[in-house]
Amino acid sequence: MKVASYIRQWLKQEQRIRRFSLFVTIALLLSGCYQTEQKDQLSEIIEKGSITVGTLFGPNTYYIDAEGPAGFEYELAKKYAEHLGVKLEIVPSYNLEALFPKLESGDVDFLAAGLAVTPKRLEQFNFAPSYDSISQKLVFKQGKERPRDVEDLEGNLVVTALSSHVENLQKLKNQYPELSWQENSELDAQELLLEILAENIDYTVIDSNTLAINRRYYPEISIGFTIKQPEPLAWAVKKHGDHSLLTSLVEYFGEVHHDGTLLALDDKYYGHVSSFNYVDTRTFIKAIEETLPKYRPLFEKYGEEIDWRLLAAISYQESHWNPKARSYTGVRGMMMLTLPTARQMGVKSRLDAEQSIRGGAKYITQLIKRMPDRIPMPDKIWFALASYNVGFGHLNDARIITEQQGGDPDRWVEVKTRLPLLKQKKYYKKTKYGYARGDEPVNYVENIRRYYDTLQWFDEKQRMEELTSPAPVSQTTASLNP
């Protein structure tokens, strides 16, 4: 059912893209936008060798991690720059008040900032084809009385100034005259969530994709009700002037929709966070605080070829960091190794935490290296983890089915929709390795990805706290300054 649903959504998106492309092309021809006497905007960008993009700091848009710039919008914009053969220059802003003027003034060529396409914004800007859709959720702190509609709101509602949330609340006010809220230009959506947790405010409105990411770190954030049903997200360009850049964006989004690039990027950032389990998330965060410190040195010691946080995430999925863990299937220890695998990795006692982590790290590294070189990262890691769970043979069976159905066997987002087919006789009877509970490796990998993201976030948070905390005063210094 998931595959059929995806295909229907994809076909609808393809139809929208074609209609939009045709509309833009006709509009350009009728308006005489192709200039012969002076260079159009796209030609100037290509001649300059760089394109300047405005965005917002945030987990969905643009941020700097240990490996450099990251974020959904950043990666999508970077691929567009590569599509044009130019260099990408990012101009980030801290809020929408600073972002929009940069497009109006020409400081940036377009905005890639997770912007919802709303009637008010359509009056100000042109938009490229939509690449995603989001809904808007009213959220509150777990444990407080849940508001199920606007009439249940009792307390202060604060939203980000100039956001699409304001526009939708203004529409709701026509139906609910008593509805009131405050607009804040200093706090972004993530900071407003922290204000809710600190009980400084009662409610805020947040986009569904931003909420999905942040609930892994703040599970006490609960959903009251939906303020606005799904609306499209798109890149914004200037309303006036030639449309050469917009035409190029129409072509680009047609390509990334068709070749699976957008699907893979969406899976990278959001594919594993669509489901949320409050109890599991709270239990994991508690384990990070109370159990992980004991074993972190071992994960860091043997996480030489793979990120120690990924190794720790795998171990939590396997044993919840219990060195004495046992399963009825015969696997044991921190990494739940089988006896044959333990012997191959030189592990004498699977119940010894250090031996188990060392053996698990060695085995997973071997699985990653066993994956074909043509498979890109991080897909290669997800394939290796699926193989760790279900076996290399069954994984290859699913990749073959993917290719037979016209999918890309080197993309995790494509293969994970076919792995569950290994439970159906009409598929597995034609495979080399036969029946497998193919849904289990999918859940296995997606759980690890969520744990890994959370561990990365906590690790970065700890580093920032260490950098910003005041250095302890030495006894010598203290004695000199009574």
Give the residue numbers marked as catalytic: 318
Residue type, 246: L
> What is the phi-psi region of residue 71: left when phi exceeds 0, alpha when psi lies from -120 to 50, beta otherwise?
left
* Pairing outcome for strands 204-207 and 132-141: antiparallel
| DSSP assignment string, 409-430 | TT-HHHHTTTGGGGGSHHHHTT
If DSSP codes are grouped into helix, strand and coil, which group holds residue 474?
coil
List 80's β-bridge partners, or say none.
none
Cα Rg for the chain, rounded, in angstroms? 25
Q: Cα–Cα distance between 134 and 143 in angstroms, integer? A: 26
Count of positions (residues) in the chain: 482
Q: Cα–Cα distance between 260 and 417 in angstroms, integer? A: 14
Contact between 126 and 246 (Cβ < 8 Å): yes
Work out the burial of residue 467: count CB atoms within 10 Å of its CB; fewer than 13 is exposed, 13-18 middle, 19 or more buried.
Answer: exposed
**Residue 472 CB neighbours (<10 A):** 8
Contact between 234 and 127 (Cβ < 8 Å): yes
Contact between 368 and 380 (Cβ < 8 Å): yes
Tell me, what DSSP letter sits at residue 151?
A: G
**Residue 314 CB neighbours (<10 A):** 28
Contact between 134 and 213 (Cβ < 8 Å): no
Q: Cα–Cα distance between 279 and 451 in angstroms, integer? A: 14
